[in-house]
């Protein structure tokens, strides 16, 4: 035992005591990197750092009080904090004192931070008085600010104070004390936060600096430049006033020009820690402003999925060249249950193009029964449904493209033919995100499935576009495109009223995703405007333009909006007008289109909220 102990002290402990001795003569002070900024495509700031100062107080200004058996503030500390509060009356002396006492100990020889940030303009007058006191240390500091406020919150995200778990994972986060919590701030936190610098100095026995041994500058100011146009973000936010929903504007190459999840919230609330009152208001709002509906909202796609369904039928070998007869409903076997078309009177003989143009449900019911759910699901996943898009945002939902195995695993139940029928028109278990629908629309327009991308440039390096290939019958795809053209331009098209008078030719598809089922006993379907607001269907319109040479996709979802053509259509139309005015479709369209203020209009009574 003696020999073992001698070995431990003389040999094994040598490294420990050697480092301890070194610490007595050397100090390493870390230099925080400045967090990178986030800018839109035109150089407008979306996330920036305000310049200011932090205040620290020298250690060992507490004393042990035997009566209460804990450390308490000494007279010098109370005087120092009193002087600080005198200069900055908004600060709370009790809270500052408690913060210091909790961090002070006999073993700590470093200044203790008590004020994290004071703005530059506020500090200027007090700086001469405070800086001459050797017990105070005033360091330059930055605070994250979001100049655009709520306009791009669900894209940019916000930073917040890091917790113990986050500190353990990242040394930079531990020293800086903040981390990206949501959005691009979270997705690209490693890039934006940079790397620590440091100063290695020699100190005396009284902890005074004697000499600087080494200095390494931090790696910082690593900026993100986005594909987003903040002006377009602002315009779309204006169009959504008094409504809830999502709009995505994306190039057919995957570059996202705008993405709005409405309503939103101000990310500046979270930078220094949100109040319980503000947090309660956010989480109890029935329109869910805190949810990023662009990638996290899961909705039935309704008829917006019909083009993909048609391609799935074709891929499985079901003939799209033969028409179907629509009498307004179908039945299965001996069952009296009617799977109804949206048109009470039916559409008569329906081919593929007409089925898209007039959104005939019976056409898809019959083709789906010939194809089967497994084949439908397999192709839909290739077109981006039921899988994540790969967009550069965290916490994306994959949605659901159901098949027999999925239902067996989820509910431990068999699949029924009736479920195949309703799946063919985007109801049942089908769930999609608005970004998935926008991505799939780009595929319909070009034959290529892009990976959506918010960021154009990362710390000076451009981001390359990515695509997935999925071979489909070109003839059928062309017929589908003609059907989408008809939707926006043909006299019987479901979006003709709002989309046919634009400066460019648009192709698209409306969709109505039911929130509540329609009872079998109801002979004539109740109008959406007669339903309670939260019982109304969600309204889809997904489009691309120009028709012949597609450049952009515009996908709009109005929650509880009723019908896509009448509710989402005006929003999409105003987006296209704005883009044409700003030269997105070439100079010949610029400055010729009158924009409307939809926030002041009532479109079919569906804008009235609550």
**Residues tagged active-site:** 303
542: which strand partners? 509, 555
Give the DSSP H/E element, type plus range, for residue 389.
Answer: none
Any idea which residue has 């195995």 for tokens? 405
The angle subtended at Cα 488 by Cα 486 and Cα 491, nearest 5°, is 65
- Contacts with 517 (C-beta within 8 Å, 6 or more apart), sequence order: none
d(CA 110, CA 515) in angstroms, rounded, equals 60
601 exposure class (CB count in 10 Å sphere: 0-12, 13-18, 19+) = exposed
From 291, 268, 298, 248, select the one nearest 454 (Cα to Cα): 248
259: which strand partners? 248
476: which strand partners? none
- Contacts with 285 (C-beta within 8 Å, 6 or more apart), sequence order: 263
d(CA 142, CA 444) in angstroms, rounded, equals 46
Positive or negative, the Cα torsion across 364, 370, 372, 378?
Answer: negative
Largest CA distance in the chain: 101
CA 595 from centroid of its chain's CA atoms: 28
Cβ pair 65, 72 in contact under 8 A: yes
Any idea which residue has 């080494």 for tokens? 214
Q: Measure the N-to-C terminal CA separation of the chain; round to a whole number of Å.
A: 80
Cβ pair 96, 84 in contact under 8 A: yes
Q: 216: how many CB neighbours lie within 10 A of its CB?
A: 13
Instruction: Record the tokens describing residue 498, joined without a space.
Output: 């709002």
Residue 563's region, left for phi above 0, alpha for psi from -120 to 50, else beta, is beta
d(CA 356, CA 352) in angstroms, rounded, equals 6
d(CA 411, CA 162) in angstroms, rounded, equals 39
Instruction: Record the tokens describing residue 210, joined without a space.
Output: 């004697």
């Amino acid at each position: 035992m003696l020999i073992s102990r001698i070995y431990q002290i003389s040999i094994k402990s040598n490294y420990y005591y050697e480092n301890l001795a070194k610490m007595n003569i050397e100090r390493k002070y870390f230099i925080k990197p400045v967090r990178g900024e986030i800018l839109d495509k035109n150089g407008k700031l979306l996330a920036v750092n305000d310049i200011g100062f932090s205040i620290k107080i020298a250690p060992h200004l507490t004393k042990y009080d035997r009566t209460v058996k804990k450390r308490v503030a000494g007279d010098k500390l109370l005087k120092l904090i009193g002087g600080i509060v005198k200069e900055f009356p908004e600060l709370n002396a009790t809270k500052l004192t408690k913060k210091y006492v909790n961090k002070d100990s006999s073993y700590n020889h470093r200044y203790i931070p008590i004020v994290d940030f004071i703005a530059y303009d506020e500090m200027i007058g007090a700086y001469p008085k405070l800086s001459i006191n050797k017990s105070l240390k005033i360091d330059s500091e930055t605070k994250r600010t979001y100049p655009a406020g709520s306009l791009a919150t669900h894209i940019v995200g916000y930073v917040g104070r890091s917790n113990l778990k986050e500190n353990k994972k990242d040394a930079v986060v531990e020293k800086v004390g903040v981390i990206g919590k949501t959005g691009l701030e979270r997705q690209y936190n490693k890039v934006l936060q940079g790397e620590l610098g440091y100063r290695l100095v020699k100190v005396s026995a009284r902890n005074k600096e004697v000499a600087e041994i080494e200095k390494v500058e931090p790696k910082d100011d690593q900026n993100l430049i986005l594909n987003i146009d903040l002006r377009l973000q602002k315009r779309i936010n204006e169009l959504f006033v008094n409504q809830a929903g999502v709009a995505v504007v994306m190039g057919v190459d995957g570059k996202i020009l705008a993405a709005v999840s409405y309503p939103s919230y101000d990310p500046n609330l979270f930078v220094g820690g949100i109040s319980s009152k503000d947090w309660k208001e956010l989480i109890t709002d029935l329109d869910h402003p805190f949810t990023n509906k662009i990638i996290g909202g899961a909705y039935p796609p309704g008829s917006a999925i019909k083009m993909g369904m048609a391609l799935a039928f074709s891929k499985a070998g079901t003939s799209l060249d033969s028409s179907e007869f629509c009498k307004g409903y179908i039945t299965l076997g001996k069952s009296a249950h009617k799977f109804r078309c949206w048109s009470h009177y039916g559409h008569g003989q329906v081919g593929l193009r007409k089925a898209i143009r007039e959104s005939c449900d019976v056409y898809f019911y019959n083709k789906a029964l010939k194809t089967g759910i497994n084949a439908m699901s397999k192709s839909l996943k290739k077109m981006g449904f039921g899988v994540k898009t790969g967009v550069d945002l965290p916490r994306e939902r994959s949605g659901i493209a159901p098949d027999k195995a999925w239902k067996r695993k989820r509910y431990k139940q068999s699949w029924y033919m009736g479920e195949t029928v309703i799946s063919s028109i985007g109801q049942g278990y089908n769930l999609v995100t608005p970004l998935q629908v926008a991505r799939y629309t780009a595929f319909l327009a070009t034959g290529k499935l892009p990976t959506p991308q918010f960021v154009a440039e990362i710390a000076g390096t451009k981001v390359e576009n990515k695509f997935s290939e999925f071979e489909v019958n070109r003839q059928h795809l062309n017929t589908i495109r003609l059907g989408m053209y008809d939707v926006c331009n043909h006299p019987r098209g479901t979006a003709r009223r709002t989309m046919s008078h634009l400066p460019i030719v648009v192709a698209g598809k409306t969709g109505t995703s039911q929130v509540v089922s329609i009872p079998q006993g109801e002979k004539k379907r109740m109008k959406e405007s007669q339903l309670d607001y939260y019982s109304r269907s969600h309204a889809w319109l997904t489009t691309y333009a120009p028709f012949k040479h597609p450049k952009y996709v515009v996908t709009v979802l109005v929650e509880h909006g009723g019908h896509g053509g009448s509710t989402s259509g005006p929003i999409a139309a105003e987006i296209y007008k704005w883009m044409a005015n700003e030269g997105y479709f070439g100079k010949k369209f610029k400055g010729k289109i009158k924009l409307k203020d939809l926030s002041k209009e009532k479109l079919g009574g569906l804008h009235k909220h609550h």
